[in-house]
């Protein structure tokens, strides 16, 4: 293992917090019992759910594109307490479209057909893997990045070889990983982590020094996931306590494209929030966009947006069209009758 020297810089004092004047809205997308992880493969969703009556293990299921139907998959699979996913973009030797998931101390590779899977890596045997995400920016070699319970961050290649990047110690529980875009202020290209137990977001530089920078603290809340908002995508997020997959439309996310989102869990009667974080001068603006007691937020995925009209009007849009057509017909009939009367 390479020796790692950590230099700690604190920018918490430079982070300014505010409450958005209009909160974003979460609309129901699908009813799923005990949802944890979710990933969109281009035609359907793969989800992990808590096994009924046994919250210590997870099972897998396929959720239809429109969220209307769900069916179990891999019936013999018994996953860990929280199974999360990451899908390959075809970089650094990882086959495009393959899905990777965490379960107990392993990272598992799933074929795009969702008919078979295999163990890819055990970064730190007998120490649970918490979360994983791909570096699509390139500053970390386009590797698969993962965290383990001991506070380690790992870089994993397509053959399953795991190299420890840094050890930040226990009582961290990094359940969110993302790589900041290169133009994201002073931490462009840094590896961003959300620590549930330390209640803060940190970033690690990609150079050999691996300096650690504090980005924001959310005292009293438990940071669950951190990610960056792409353009023209809807965000789907699992809300465990409500047995729902919820949607935030691309229309609502448009002002925050390129921003970092932090989601806090909100389990066991705690507050769960969604924050937007953006560079501002020497620090960061942190804006709370949504807050609710006990939602129990879990995994997330991005999916192609609805059309602009459906994003505005949601599932009521077809009924709106019918209503408009009816009004046009009625107005036309009245006009025709008036014309015949005047004649």
Domain check: are 234 and 293 in the same one? yes
Residues 12 and 139 in one domain: yes
Q: Considering the domain boundaries, does residue 2 fall inside one?
A: no
Whether 37 contacts 242, CB under 8 Å: no
| Claim to verify: residue 132 and residue 247 sit in the same structural domain | yes
Q: What's CA 237's distance to the chain center, in Å? A: 7
Shared-domain flag, residues 166 and 30: yes
Radius of gyration of the chain (CA): 23
Is residue 322 domain-shared with residue 227, that is, in the same domain?
Answer: no
- For residue 322, what are the contacts with CB-CB under 8 A and spacing of at least 6? none
pLDDT one digit per residue (tens) for the chain, 343 residues: 443 434 333 343 345 556 554 489 999 999 999 999 999 999 999 999 987 777 788 999 999 999 999 999 999 999 998 999 999 999 999 999 999 999 999 999 999 999 999 999 999 999 999 999 999 999 999 999 999 999 999 999 999 999 999 999 989 999 999 999 999 999 999 999 999 999 999 999 999 999 999 999 999 999 999 999 999 999 999 999 899 999 999 999 999 999 999 999 999 889 999 999 999 988 999 999 999 999 999 999 999 997 443 443 444 444 444 444 445 445 455 455 554 444 5
Q: Residue 244 forms beta bridges with which residues?
A: 31, 239
Contacts for 145 with CB less than 8 Å, ≥ 6 apart: 132, 133, 134, 135, 153, 154, 155, 156, 165, 177, 179, 191
**Residues 128/104, Cβ–Cβ less than 8 Å:** yes
Structural domain containing residue 341? 315-343
Bridge partners, 145 (sequence order):
133, 155
What distances in angstroms separate CA 2 from CA 164, 185, 281, one per listed residue?
A: 8, 29, 35
Question: Which spans in the chain are helix H?
Answer: 250-253, 308-313, 317-342
Note whether 192 and 328 are same-domain residues.
no
If asked whether residues 195 and 164 sit together in one domain, one would say yes
User: For residue 3, is it within any domain?
Assistant: no
pTM of the full structure: 0.84
Residue 292 shares a structural domain with residue 328: no
Residue 238 shares a structural domain with residue 338: no
- Say if 310 falls within a structural domain: no
Residue 78 lies inside a defined structural domain of this protein: yes
Identify whether 91 is part of a domain: yes
pLDDT at res. 308: 41
Residue 325 included in any domain: yes
CA dihedral 212, 162, 223, 86 (to 10 degrees): 130
Q: What are 153's two structure tokens?
A: 């961050």
Q: Tell whether 172 and 321 lie within a shared domain.
A: no
Give the number of domains in the chain: 2
Q: Tell whether 188 is covered by a domain.
A: yes
Q: What is the domain-level CATH number for residue 89?
A: 2.120.10.30
pLDDT of residue 19: 55
323 in the same domain as 300: no
Shared-domain flag, residues 104 and 57: yes
Residue 52 domain flag? yes
């Amino acid at each position: 293992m390479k020796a790692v020297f950590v230099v700690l810089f604190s920018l918490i004092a430079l982070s300014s917090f505010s409450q958005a004047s209009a909160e974003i809205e979460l609309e129901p997308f699908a009813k799923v019992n005990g949802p944890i992880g979710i990933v969109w493969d281009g035609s359907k969703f793969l989800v992990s759910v808590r096994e009924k009556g046994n919250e210590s293990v997870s099972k897998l299921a396929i959720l239809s594109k429109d969220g209307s139907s769900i069916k179990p998959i891999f019936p013999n699979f018994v996953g860990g307490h929280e199974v999360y996913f990451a899908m390959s973009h075809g970089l650094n030797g990882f086959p495009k479209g393959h899905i990777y998931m965490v379960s107990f101390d392993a990272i598992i590779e799933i074929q795009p057909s969702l008919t078979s899977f295999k163990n890819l890596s055990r970064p730190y045997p007998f120490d649970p893997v918490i979360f994983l995400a791909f570096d699509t920016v390139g500053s970390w070699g386009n590797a698969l990045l993962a965290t383990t319970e001991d506070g380690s961050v790992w870089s994993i290649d397509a053959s399953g070889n795991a190299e420890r990047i840094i050890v930040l110690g226990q009582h961290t529980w990094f359940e969110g990983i993302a790589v900041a875009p290169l133009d994201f202020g002073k931490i462009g290209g840094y590896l961003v982590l959300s620590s549930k137990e330390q209640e803060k977001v940190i970033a690690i530089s990609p150079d050999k020094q691996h300096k650690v920078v504090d980005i924001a603290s959310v005292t009293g809340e438990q940071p669950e996931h951190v990610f960056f908002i792409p353009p023209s995508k809807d965000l789907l997020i699992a809300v465990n306590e409500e047995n729902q997959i919820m949607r935030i439309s691309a229309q609502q996310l448009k002002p925050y494209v390129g921003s970092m989102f932090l989601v806090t869990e909100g389990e066991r009667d705690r507050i769960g929030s969604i924050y937007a974080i953006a560079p501002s001068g020497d620090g960061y603006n942190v804006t709370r966009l949504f807050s609710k007691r006990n939602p129990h937020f879990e995994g997330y995925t991005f999916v192609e947006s609805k059309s602009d009209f459906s994003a505005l009007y949601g599932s009521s849009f077809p009924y709106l069209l019918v209503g408009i057509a009816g009004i046009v017909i009625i107005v036309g009939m009245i006009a025709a009758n008036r014309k015949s009367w005047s004649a």
